[in-house]
Amino acid sequence: MAFNLPDLPYAHDALADGGMSAETMEFHHDMHHNAYVTNGNKLIEGTEWADKSLEEIITGTYDASSVAQNGIFNNISQLWNHNQFWEMMGPSGRNMPSELETAIKDSFGSVDQFKADFNAAGVGQFGSGWCWLVKNADGGLQVTKTENGVNPLCFGQTALLGCDVWEHSYYIDFRNKRPVYITNFLDNLVNWENVAARLAG
Ligand code: MN3
């Protein structure tokens, strides 16, 4: 069963006020994300993965010993990562629900400290990748960074928030300024209600 490119959960220009332009969305969603869908579908066709879920393919093809990974993993994990990424942002939901704020304070001391840790993880990811707020199996929260398409599913973690730090995510709006892009992401783009729902789920 082939996977589809999900529509954005909002208009292409819905995040422009928050600093992510319609032009970025046209490249990032309509072209980059779509390429992962097209290539992923081609690569799984006729294989043991053809009828599996995105999550099953990601955990089944992840190779902990390989930085480069493999084509199926790279494309399917990036397909999943972007599905989450669009949902984690929004034109509303910018106030942090109290239960999420409490959980973040319990793990990081303060919301500002969490944001500093998250930004440092994204800036510290050399080359392409993602930074994350994850929930570990024991319920504790942690900030992580991953290379290329690797994501929290590979480590049995729940992805609460992820920020794409591939250059294609920020070069149109922020040029080479990855730290500014991540700060703006946290302050003006995240849908904290979506993050809170993932924590509760
Ligand atoms: Mn991307």
Q: How far away, in angstroms, is 45 Cα from ligand 1 center?
A: 23
Q: How far away, in angstroms, is 33 Cα from ligand 1 center?
A: 7
Q: How far away, in angstroms, is 28 Cα from ligand 1 center?
A: 6
Judged by DSSP in three states, 193 sits in helix
Residue 52 is part of a domain; what is its CATH number? 1.10.287.990
* Residue 159 bridge partners (DSSP): 134
Judge whether residue 24 has pLDDT over 90: yes
| Domain, as residue range, for 51 | 20-88
Residue 187 is part of a domain; what is its CATH number? 3.55.40.20
Q: How far away, in angstroms, is 149 Cα from ligand 1 center?
A: 9
**pLDDT tens-digit map of 93-111:** 889 999 999 999 999 999 9
**Residues 189 and 113 occupy one common structural domain:** yes
Domain assignment of residue 153, yes or no: yes
**Residues 124 and 65 occupy one common structural domain:** no
Angle between helices 71-88 and 54-61 (to 10 degrees): 130
Judge whether residue 79 has pLDDT over 90: yes
Average pLDDT over residues 65-73: 93
Query: Mean of the per-residue pLDDT values for the chain?
Result: 97
Q: How far away, in angstroms, is 109 Cα from ligand 1 center?
A: 30
Q: How far away, in angstroms, is 82 Cα from ligand 1 center?
A: 6
What's the confidence (pLDDT) of residue 180?
98
Both tokens of residue 103? Answer: 């959980």
What's the confidence (pLDDT) of residue 105?
98
What's the confidence (pLDDT) of residue 116?
98
Question: How far apart are the C-alpha atoms of 53 and 47, rounded to whole Å?
Answer: 13
Judge whether residue 47 has pLDDT over 80: yes
183: part of which helix (H) or strand (E)?
Answer: helix 178-184
Domain assignment of residue 37, yes or no: yes
**Residues 83 and 107 occupy one common structural domain:** no
Q: Whole-structure pTM over 0.75, yes or no?
A: yes
**Residues 83 and 143 occupy one common structural domain:** no
Q: How far away, in angstroms, is 132 Cα from ligand 1 center?
A: 14
Domain boundary residue among 48, 70, 88?
A: 88
What's the confidence (pLDDT) of residue 1?
73
Average pLDDT over residues 42-51: 97
Question: How far apart are the C-alpha atoms of 21 and 25, rounded to whole Å?
Answer: 7
Residue 33 DSSP label: I
Q: How far away, in angstroms, is 187 Cα from ligand 1 center?
A: 19
Per the document, the length of the chain is: 201
Q: How far away, in angstroms, is 188 Cα from ligand 1 center?
A: 18
Judge whether residue 188 has pLDDT over 90: yes
CA 61 to chain centre: 19
Alpha helices in 31-135 (DSSP H): 34-44, 54-61, 71-88, 98-108, 111-124
**pLDDT tens-digit map of 124-177:** 999 999 999 999 999 999 999 999 999 999 999 999 999 999 999 999 999 999
Q: Side by side, which strands form the sheet with 158-164?
A: 141-147, 129-135, 158-164
Judge whether residue 55 has pLDDT over 80: yes
Question: Cβ(200)–Cβ(129) under 8 Å?
Answer: no
Both tokens of residue 26? Answer: 């046209």
**Residues 195 and 120 occupy one common structural domain:** yes
